[in-house]
A and B are shown apart, each in its own frame.
Chain A
Amino acid sequence: MSVDFEMKFLQNFLDALQGHLSLTLASVAIGIIVSIPSGVLAHQFPRAKQPLMVIINIIQTIPGLAILALVVTFLGGRIGFLPAFIALTLYSMLPIVRNTITGLEAVPWDVSEAAKGIGMSRSQRLILVELPLAKPVIIAGLRTAIVWTVGMATLATLVGAPSFGNYIFTGLQTRNLESVLLGSVASAALALVLDAAIGLYQKRSIERTRGVVGKRSFFLLFYQFFVVMVLVLAIATIFWPAKQVDVVVGAKGYTEQHVLAGLLSAELNRAGFKTEQKIGLGSQVIFEALRGNSIDVYFEYSGTVWAGHMSHEDNPGPEVIREAVERYVESQGVYFVGFGGFENRYALAMRRDRAEALGVTSITDLAGIGESMKAGGDLEFFGRLEWIRTNQIYGVDFDEKLIFDSSMMYGAVASGEVDVISAYTTDGRIAAYDLLILDDPNNAMLSYDAMLLSSDRITKRPGVMRVLARLANRLTDANMREANRMVDVDGLPVSTAVAFLQNTVNFDYKSD
């Protein structure tokens, strides 16, 4: 029996909308509260202007994803609303600060002179004259900030804050174009609506300055009331208590992880525990999140911990790595539940017909002919130990090394765009596209035994731990490959793949 863990479509959409909107508005609201005074200070004290602009410009040049990861690390692995909110607030500052300074600098000299000459104090000049005159320019900056922030809020999904990015990233991973389109269009529409709302306000306030609309314009009063209410609600969201859940299930951003998170949730729900999923977390972020008790359970891979977290550059073989990694994660304050029973390692894969034509069966055969081939790797492969070792041990190199999102990589090799890819051994697309996994006789690739890790916090819930313990060592390479194939190739929902695993494996569930 499958558990229907996927909520209704509308509920999902409203959750994403609420997450996206509150994240954007709260960030921009705080951005305004920080940025306008900063701009004013920079204008009043010209010596502060240069350093301030340098700092804000530097923040702006850091890619959105990197700043999110940095904030998560800085907060000690905390994921969810807070890090996304901080990163977005930092990002929203540049246009507002810049336009505040520009707007204040553009106040005509004779007006400032008159304000001084009739005896206005510095703060009166600022509040009564300079800021009102700079307002149109500041609002233009605010509009830019809103549009940027709505766009960047889609990335918040990657640190576990719900947004329309959920549709985009899940869609990219599960090759569901409608989902990607829905997320993108919804996000763009939100940007347009918020921009238009400010534009309307701006237009009305200009008309008011020109005396076109009566001073106590009803519309303006209502509008201001509305805007204040929305901002208050958005800020209040920050302090709203989190949903009452027993276990937070984490997952990285690809199909297998989505399926595993679905399985964990389904089994926990079956035992009566409420769960929440944080899907699409980055490799570094997710382990930190577990250590910080922001998530409670997820499947990790031994090779990732060995090379990524323990920074080893050798490959002593699966057994040694398994033991070392188990000791390591426990030393980091997380609980090692057990191995998953399957392995998802990197492997070089080619189209079977192409490999046969060239007489290639092993990585060894690529030495010498690789230089005339194109290779495709996922975002990290060519920077990883596996590639460095492949290159050293087998003396293999390629003419071109192209980087793909993993969801695009298989299509690229199937269409002949590239000759070789860095495949994942449990990926359902290997069979679907009839790819050949090349032998690795000299162990260039690390082993990636799946391992179930849980937070220290959740070990105090014996009921949860019993469910988790039953999930250890039950899955196989074949099961996982089939589950992945259902989603990646057949385009079936994750819930169907989870149901398949539950039916096939029978995680026997008797009280003990």
Chain B
Amino acid sequence: MIEFNSVSKSYDGGVSFAVKNFVLRVNRGEVLALVGESGCGKTTTLKMVNRLVSPCSGFVSIAGKSVLDICVQDLRRNIGYVFQGVGLFPHYSVRENVSAVPSLLGWSPEAVEERCSELLALVGLPLASFGNRMPMELSGGQAQRVGVARALAAKPEILLMDEPFGALDPINRAELQGEFVRIQKSLKLTVVMVTHDVTEAMLVADRIAIMKQGRILQCDTAAGLLSSPTDDYVTKLMKTPLTRALEVSKLVSAAQTTDYFR
């Protein structure tokens, strides 16, 4: 579905590269997570799909067609985009935010309204009670749900997500991750998602691409990365969720024996 063909990007005219000779194929209906430290080039990679960033060499193609050959506005309107900042339009109500893209695409008002109602129901914020609220009246979790609804408004097949759950508290975060998986399966979305949280990637993604300094170290399923890592960094990174879970487990056991939870 999405192919990165030896894509490179430098922000300083070729002195250093944010992304270098990046080759990757994302299959239809798959969730692919880009995981790595801050500055490893994962956001740059993501933004080259909807042309918020242009590659210096190589090209990204969608369904065999280079994104450079698609009108940039059409391209973006047909790719959902969700990011940590959410970026709801503060002067638009929830309804107007979700309706933004279908309206730009020239849908009829009835179709827009129906889609709006459908999507808000999907993300658990019924139109009747939330439609007229302003973004400043929403909690962080609610705002992010509206952000997802807005991204899905024009029925895109592709969804790009940049740290979508990063700013949420743990409970909201776990809940929204679960709901996201449900939505993704039901709509059969092709998703590229950027995160620095390996646990999140393991729980949500079908495949994980581990990135370091603008390159892919290894790309595989979580099981594949755990069982046959090709790089020490991959080994170390993939072990962290398990190591931490064990530590947490020990603390929990200790707490139980000292009656903390009784």
Contacts and interface: CB of A to CB of B under 8 A. Distances in A.
A113 B91 contact: no
19 contacts: A111-B87, A113-B52, A113-B83, A113-B87, A114-B86, A114-B87, A114-B88, A114-B147, A116-B76, A118-B101, A118-B104, A118-B150, A119-B75, A119-B101, A119-B104, A121-B73, A129-B91, A209-B91, A211-B132
Contact of B100 (A108, A112, A118): A118
Given A113-B52, A132-B91, 15 more contacts: A108-B87, A110-B83, A111-B89, A114-B83, A114-B85, A117-B81, A118-B76, A118-B77, A118-B101, A119-B73, A119-B77, A120-B104, A121-B73, A129-B91, A133-B90
Contacts of A210: 134, 136
B50 A117 contact: yes
A74 interface: no
Contacts of A209: 90-91, 134
A120 B101 CA distance: 8
Contacts of B76: 116-119
A132 B93 CA distance: 14
B89 A211 contact: no
Given A117-B50, A124-B104, A111 B133 contact: no
B74 interface: yes
Nearest to A120: B104
A109 B81 contact: no
Contacts, number: 71
B73 A129 contact: no
Contacts of B100: 118
Given A129-B89, A133-B90, A117 B134 contact: no
A121 B76 CA distance: 10
B44 to A, nearest CB: 14
A110 B87 contact: yes
A110 B77 contact: no
Contacts of A108: 85, 87, 90
Contacts of B86: 110, 114
Given A117-B52, A117-B83, A111 B90 contact: yes
A247 to B, nearest CB: 57
Interface string B99-117: 0110010000000000000
A118 B90 contact: no
A116 B53 CA distance: 11
Contacts of A230: none
Contacts of B134: 209-211
Nearest to A206: B91
A113 B88 CA distance: 10
Nearest to B153: A118
A115 interface: yes
A117 B79 CA distance: 9
B54 to A, nearest CB: 13
A133 B73 CA distance: 22
A128 B91 CA distance: 10
A209 B151 CA distance: 22
Nearest to B151: A118
Contact of A211 (B50, B75, B78, B93): B93
Nearest to B77: A119
Contacts of A114: 81, 83, 85-89, 147
Contacts of A109: 85
A110 B100 CA distance: 16
Given A133-B90, A209-B134, A210-B134, A120 B85 contact: no
A205 B88 CA distance: 19
Contacts of A112: 87
Nearest to B73: A119
A116 B85 CA distance: 13
B90 A211 contact: no
B87 A117 contact: yes
A114 B77 CA distance: 11
B85 A110 contact: yes
Interface string A264-276: 0000000000000
A116 B78 CA distance: 13
Given A209-B134, A211-B132, A120 B73 contact: yes
Interface string B30-71: 000000000000000000001010000000000000000000
A118 B81 contact: yes
B89 A115 contact: yes
A112 B83 CA distance: 12
A113 B150 CA distance: 14
B98 to A, nearest CB: 11
A483 B135 CA distance: 73
Interface string B116-141: 00000000000000001110100000
Nearest to B132: A211
A497 B101 CA distance: 75
A117 B81 CA distance: 6
A489 to B, nearest CB: 63
Contacts of B88: 111, 114
Nearest to B78: A119
A209 B76 CA distance: 27
A210 B83 CA distance: 24
Contacts of B73: 119-121
A119 B52 contact: no
Nearest to B147: A114
**Nearest 9 CB-CB pairings of A with B:** A114-B87, A110-B85, A119-B76, A119-B77, A117-B81, A110-B87, A119-B73, A132-B91, A111-B87
B244 to A, nearest CB: 30
A225 B47 CA distance: 44
Contacts of A115: 87, 89
Nearest to A212: B134
Contacts of B87: 108, 110-115, 117
A124 B72 CA distance: 14
A120 to B, nearest CB: 7
Interface string B133-165: 110100000000001001100000000000000
Interface in A116-146: 116-121, 124, 128-129, 132-133
Nearest to A116: B52
A132 to B, nearest CB: 5
A129 B101 CA distance: 13
Contacts of A133: 90-91
Residue in A113, A116, A117, A121 with the greatest tally of chain B CB atoms within 10 Å: A117
A118 B75 CA distance: 9
A121 B100 CA distance: 13
Contacts of A119: 72-78, 101, 104
Nearest to B50: A117
A117 B153 CA distance: 13
A128 B73 CA distance: 15
Contacts of B150: 118
Interface in A283-300: none
Contacts of A110: 83, 85-87
A116 B134 CA distance: 21
Contacts of B90: 108, 111, 133, 209
